[in-house]
């Protein structure tokens, strides 16, 4: 649905005024190029049996994303690159994005090129990485968060070029589409937030943050019909405490990395930034694909990275265990419009995955603090906006 629905509006007017889209204009530029116009004359439903170009594009984009992942992992962890790539390709987050045809797949490919210098030529990396960052931010604006790692490491040139690339790509795609101004995107985003709050079950079905669950309960979901009040209050207190401890540890780790920017890898900083963002608010369960990839860049050395890697493998398991079922939901099917009875349940993964992200954040934050502290033995803290080029031994 995440491919065919916006693809329909790529061939029709009103994506931002009628459909109230939150997709940036670059999405419609790509979808118009990678779809058959004649398949979208009537509706996006008809295109599902017609648009073979779109189907091929989804599969090829996913294959390209996994190929880029393998190349990046091969540079950092050559012995485990194949196994970790297979976990990415057949794991829950990746398959979820593939099944939905989500444009996150294209964003993820750009993300890999932005985070890991894949090109052999140093000059090419200097220009390719900011360009890739501009593409990923245009596809998913919340991906501005990982680009902040360049600021922590004082890589101002990369950050500056990424900013120019982001603006240039946005203006060019806006001109091509003819709509999708910043004001339109902001207004539609506010409308989307109001729309999704009505979907209580969908909001917590596959989330990265416990805040989604708490928000649903605060808006009136009868959680006390399923668990005792004392158990719920204990769970909420424990979870809120774990969230605050892990997030505070992550912020402290970033501050420590600012003092010793060359003691911590860029990929580690990006991972901590992503975890801070995703554990606070969930833009979708498939975003765990970014986290799993970054965790797989870690070496199998030390308790922090090892726990993060094991957690990433567990998050990738494409299955779940339903503990109890909720009352049946009587509704209509989205595609056929026929009356259906839906069964929704409370599963282990709904709680284990957000908790796993918190565990990963806490462990990597502690490991980052250790690395930064060791860095003080070799060079003084870097307090200014520039950092010495001498690397740590």
Q: How far lies 129's CA from each of 76, 152, 275, in Å? A: 17, 17, 21
Of 109 and 347, the structure prediction assigns the larger pLDDT to 109
Which among 168, 196, 224 is the end of a domain? 196
The answer to whether the CB of 365 falls within 8 A of the CB of 249 is yes
pLDDT at 392: 42
Helix (H, G, I), strand (E, B) or coil at 180: coil
Which among 162, 196, 230 is the end of a domain? 196
Tell me: do 286 and 389 sit in the same domain.
Answer: yes
* Residue 368, token pair as written in the block: 């980052």
Rounded to whole angstroms, the Cα distance separating 69 from 179 reads 33
Q: CB-side exposure of 48: number of CA atoms within 13 Å?
A: 12
Tell me: do 273 and 381 sit in the same domain.
Answer: yes
Tell me: do 61 and 14 sit in the same domain.
Answer: yes
The answer to whether the CB of 253 falls within 8 A of the CB of 365 is yes
Q: Is the per-residue pLDDT at 150 higher than 80?
A: yes
Q: What average pLDDT score do residues 301-321 get?
A: 95
Q: What average pLDDT score do residues 256-266 get?
A: 92
Rounded to whole angstroms, the Cα distance separating 156 from 349 reads 39
Number of domains in the chain: 2
Q: What average pLDDT score do residues 172-188 get?
A: 94
Rounded to whole angstroms, the Cα distance separating 248 from 228 reads 30
Tell me: do 305 and 333 sit in the same domain.
Answer: yes
Tell me: do 178 and 34 sit in the same domain.
Answer: yes
Tell me: do 221 and 362 sit in the same domain.
Answer: yes
pLDDT at 226: 74
Task: For residue 388, report the phi and psi dihedrals to the nearest 5 degrees.
Answer: -65, 145
Tell me: do 191 and 339 sit in the same domain.
Answer: no
pLDDT at 152: 94
Tell me: do 308 and 380 sit in the same domain.
Answer: yes
User: By 3-state DSSP, what share of the chain in percent is helix, strand and coil, each rounded to 5?
Assistant: 65, 5, 30
Q: How confident is the model at residue 391 (pLDDT cuts 50, 70, 90)?
A: very low
Q: How confident is the model at residue 162 (pLDDT cuts 50, 70, 90)?
A: very high
Rg over CA atoms, the chain: 22
Q: What average pLDDT score do residues 315-319 get?
A: 94
Q: How confident is the model at residue 387 (pLDDT cuts 50, 70, 90)?
A: low
Q: Is the per-residue pLDDT at 385 higher than 90?
A: no
- The contacts of residue 95 (CB under 8 Å, 6+ apart) are 318
Q: What is the pTM of this model?
A: 0.92
Rounded to whole angstroms, the Cα distance separating 164 from 235 reads 46
Q: How confident is the model at residue 180 (pLDDT cuts 50, 70, 90)?
A: very high
Place of tokens 């990963």: 360
Task: For residue 377, report the phi and psi dihedrals to the nearest 5 degrees.
Answer: -75, -20
pLDDT at 393: 41
Task: For residue 347, report the phi and psi dihedrals to the nearest 5 degrees.
Answer: -115, 160
pLDDT at 267: 95
Interval 320-373: pLDDT, tens = 898 888 778 888 887 788 999 888 888 899 899 999 999 999 999 999 999 999
Q: Is the per-residue pLDDT at 26 higher than 90?
A: yes
Interval 59-73: pLDDT, tens = 999 999 999 999 999
Tell me: do 151 and 229 sit in the same domain.
Answer: no
Which among 146, 166, 196 is the end of a domain? 196
User: Which residues in the chain belong to E strands, given as ranges?
Assistant: 322-325, 329-332, 339-342, 345-347
Q: Is the per-residue pLDDT at 232 higher than 90?
A: no
Scanning 34-155, the segments in alpha helix (DSSP H) are 44-47, 52-76, 81-89, 92-100, 104-115, 122-139, 144-147, 149-152
Q: What average pLDDT score do residues 21-27 get?
A: 95
Tell me: do 251 and 375 sit in the same domain.
Answer: yes
Q: What average pLDDT score do residues 211-233 get?
A: 80
pLDDT at 196: 65
Rounded to whole angstroms, the Cα distance separating 331 from 98 reads 26
**Which domain does 12 fall in, by range?**
1-196
Interval 5-16: pLDDT, tens = 999 999 999 999
Q: What average pLDDT score do residues 176-181 get?
A: 94
**Most distant pair of Cα atoms in the chain: their distance:** 68
Rounded to whole angstroms, the Cα distance separating 32 from 54 reads 10
Tell me: do 75 and 217 sit in the same domain.
Answer: no
């Amino acid at each position: 649905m995440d491919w065919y629905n916006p693809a329909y509006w790529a061939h029709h007017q009103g994506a931002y005024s009628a459909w109230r889209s939150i997709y940036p204009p670059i999405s419609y530029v790509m979808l118009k190029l990678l779809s058959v116009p004649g398949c979208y004359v009537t509706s996006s439903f008809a295109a599902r049996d017609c648009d073979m170009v779109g189907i091929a594009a989804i599969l090829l984009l996913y294959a390209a994303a996994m190929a880029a992942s393998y190349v990046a992992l091969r540079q950092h962890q050559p012995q485990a690159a194949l196994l970790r790539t297979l976990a990415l390709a057949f794991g829950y987050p990746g398959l979820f994005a593939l099944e939905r045809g989500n444009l996150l797949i294209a964003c993820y490919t750009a993300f890999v090129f932005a985070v890991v210098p894949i090109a052999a030529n140093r000059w090419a990396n200097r220009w390719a990485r900011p360009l890739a960052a501009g593409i990923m931010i245009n596809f998913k604006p919340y991906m501005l968060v990982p680009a902040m790692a360049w600021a922590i490491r004082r890589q101002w040139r990369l950050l500056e070029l990424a900013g120019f690339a982001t603006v240039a790509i946005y203006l060019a795609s806006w001109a091509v589409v003819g709509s999708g101004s910043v004001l339109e995107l902001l207004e539609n985003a506010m409308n989307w937030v109001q729309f999704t709050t009505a979907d209580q079950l969908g909001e917590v079905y596959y989330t990265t943050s416990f805040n989604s669950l708490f928000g649903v309960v605060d808006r009136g979901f009868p959680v006390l019909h399923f668990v005792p009040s004392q158990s719920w209050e204990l769970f909420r207190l424990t979870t809120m405490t774990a969230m605050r401890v892990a997030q505070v540890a992550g912020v402290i780790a970033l501050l420590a990395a600012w003092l010793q920017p060359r003691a911590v890898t860029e990929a580690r900083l990006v991972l901590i930034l992503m975890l801070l963002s995703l554990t606070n608010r969930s833009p979708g369960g498939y975003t765990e694909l970014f986290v799993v990839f970054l965790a797989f860049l870690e070496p199998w050395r030390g308790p922090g990275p090892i726990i993060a890697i094991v957690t990433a493998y567990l998050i990738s398991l494409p299955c779940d265990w339903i503990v109890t079922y909720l009352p049946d939901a009587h509704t209509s099917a989205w595609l056929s419009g026929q009356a259906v009875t839906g069964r929704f349940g409370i599963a282990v993964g709904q709680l284990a995955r957000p908790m796993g992200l918190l565990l990963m954040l806490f462990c990597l934050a502690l490991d980052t603090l250790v690395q930064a502290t060791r860095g003080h033995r070799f060079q003084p803290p870097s307090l200014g906006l520039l950092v010495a080029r001498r690397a740590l031994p």
